[in-house]
């Protein structure tokens, strides 16, 4: 198990260099077939250490919700950025993820003087460090990953009400067996990513059927 103090090593090193407002930045939603990618930028008050922060994927939903509350109470600032499914289709998922992160940083009410980013370089004119698997190595990135995951999960629960039948509240848009089954049965809905293969194949199939019908 990772030592609690290890998660603060990047932040403590930066504080020694004179940085004060260190934002962790992470995103969630690269893999789903539906809805957008959601990023969070979070500046923690490093004088108020929080036990239990980790990569959001390693925490239960119940634990994420309780950690979200703690983080929101103790953070100096946090903000979200979003790129919807149409932007993902236009830009590609890498560029959309980067844009969502930039939007999150720009939305912060306090401007950070350093960015710790999960496996991405943002080139915003703010000093930065990109950390592979940063959500499990930096407390700031871990906090951002938890906030982003909870926020996006809530969004998918709302979409489940708007577009029933796909099971969005359960799989959150990821390509589970049930999601793929319902996608074939119900056809893509407006929030499905047209550039992702399972969805694209269905659109192309429908287009071919429409053309054949027109030619009859």
Binding site per annotation, positions for a divalent metal cation: 26-27, 118
Residue in this structure with the two tokens 């629960």, named with its chain if needed: 157
Which residues participate in the annotated binding site? 26-27, 118
In Å, the largest CA–CA distance within the chain is: 74
CA-closest candidate to residue 178, choices 215, 170, 200, 193: 170
Of 87, 93, 78, 72, nearest in space to 40 by CA: 78
Give the CA angle between residues 67, 73, 77 to the nearest 5°: 105
Return the number of other C-beta atoms located less than 10 Å from residue 7's C-beta: 23
Token pair of 44, please?
Answer: 């923690």
């Amino acid at each position: 198990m990772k030592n609690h103090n290890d998660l603060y090593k990047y932040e403590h090193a930066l504080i020694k260099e004179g940085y004060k407002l260190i934002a962790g930045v992470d995103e969630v939603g690269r893999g789903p077939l539906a809805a957008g990618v959601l990023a969070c930028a979070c500046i923690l008050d490093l004088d108020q250490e929080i036990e239990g922060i980790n990569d959001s994927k390693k925490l239960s939903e119940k634990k994420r919700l309780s950690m979200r509350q703690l983080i929101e109470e103790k953070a100096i600032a946090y903000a979200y950025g979003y790129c919807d499914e149409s932007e993902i289709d236009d830009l590609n998922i890498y560029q959309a993820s980067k844009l969502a992160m930039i939007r999150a940083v720009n939305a912060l009410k306090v401007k950070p003087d350093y960015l710790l980013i999960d496996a991405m370089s943002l080139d915003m004119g703010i000093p930065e460090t990109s950390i592979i698997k940063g959500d499990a190595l930096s407390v700031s990135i871990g906090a951002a990953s938890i906030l982003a995951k909870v926020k996006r999960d809530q969004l998918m629960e709302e979409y489940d009400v708007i577009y029933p039948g796909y099971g969005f509240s359960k799989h959150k848009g990821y390509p589970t067996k049930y999601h793929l089954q319902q996608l074939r049965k119900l056809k893509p809905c407006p929030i499905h990513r047209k550039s992702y293969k399972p969805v694209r194949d269905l659109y192309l199939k429908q287009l071919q059927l429409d053309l054949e019908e027109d030619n009859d």
